[in-house]
Amino acid sequence: MKRYVILISGRGSNMQALIEARLPGVCAGVISNRPDTAGLAWAAARSLPTAVVDHRAFPSRASFDAALADEIERRGGEFVLLAGFMRVLTESFVRRFSGRLVNIHPSLLPAFPGLHTHAAALAAGVRVHGCTVHFVTPALDSGPIIVQAAVPVLPSDTVETLAARVLAQEHIVYPQAACALLEGRCLLAQGRAVWCDEATPATLALRVPAGQAH
């Protein structure tokens, strides 16, 4: 079975969704750049291997990323799943795990990369928002898209209500995408996310929750 590592910086709700989905692989570790995260406590309480690589202990992004990569490889991590990991990774790290490094982003990329995506969506007046699972490349939030989930933006929405609606979809599509990766049904080839199962893109690559297609 493939071994995967999950990187977190906070409570790790997407990490919890991945673990509770019982992915077809072995969790080789939950690693955080912060020692006091609630996500680490949640993982440890379930006897998952955990580790801390504290970015504050390193003089540069490059040295932190090198130590983080070494920790991942020491644990035999074949895939790296970013789940609320709030660090911009260096190009050398990204290239080291090319095709095996994925992220969940709270917008329908390429719209609203970076932070504060829900506020940006409300300010722009979009009618549809959502989340994206994508391969990570050196350009921030610009990697090939694996799967997206769309939700409506309601007239009454606040940042909090819209974020909650998007997060619910993140917890569905990220485990589905991770499962496809671990089973070899989706891979990165020639700069694109390629599905080996012809039926998969029609049923997974864009998810619109029932009753929300208008």
What does the mean pLDDT of the chain come to?
Answer: 93
Provide the 8-state DSSP code for 175: H
Fold match flag (1-97 vs 103-214): yes
**Catalytic site residue from 55, 105, 129, 171:** 105
- 97 in Cβ contact with 144 (< 8 Å): no
**H-only helix segments in the chain:** 13-20, 38-45, 61-74, 91-96, 117-124, 159-182, 200-204
The confidence band for 196, taking pLDDT boundaries of 50, 70 and 90, is: confident
Asked if residue 207 has pLDDT above 60, the reply is no
Spans of all domains in the chain: 1-97, 103-214
Helix axes 13-20, 38-45, angle to 10 degrees: 20
Q: pLDDT digit string (tens) for 75-130?
A: 999 999 999 999 999 999 999 999 999 999 999 999 999 999 999 999 999 999 99
Assign domain 1-97 to its CATH architecture: 3-Layer(aba) Sandwich (3.40)
Catalytic, 171? Answer no
Architecture of domain 103-214: 3-Layer(aba) Sandwich (3.40)
Predicted pLDDT at 169: 97
Average confidence (pLDDT) over 190-209: 67
User: pLDDT value at position 188?
Assistant: 95
pLDDT at residue 191 tops 90: yes
- The reported pLDDT for the residue numbered 199 is 47
Contacts of 192 (CB under 8 A, 6+ apart): 144
pTM: 0.92
Determine the 3-state secondary structure of 29 from DSSP: strand
Looking at residue 151, its amino acid is: V
Mean pLDDT of 50-64: 98
**Cα–Cα distance, 99 to 160 (Å, whole number):** 33
What span, in angstroms and rounded, lies between the C-alpha atoms of 53 and 57? 8
DSSP 3-state of 27: strand
Query: Could you read off the pLDDT of 134-175 as tens digits, one per residue?
Result: 999 999 999 999 999 999 999 999 999 999 999 999 999 999
pLDDT tens-place string over residues 137-148: 999 999 999 999
Whether the pLDDT of residue 212 is over 60: the answer is no
What percent of the chain is predicted at pLDDT more than 70?
Answer: 92
Going by pLDDT thresholds of 50, 70 and 90, the confidence category of residue 213 is very low
pLDDT at 209: 60
Whole-number Å distance between alpha carbons of 59 and 110:
32
Radius of gyration of the chain (CA): 17
CA-based nearest residue to 170, from 108, 95, 96: 108
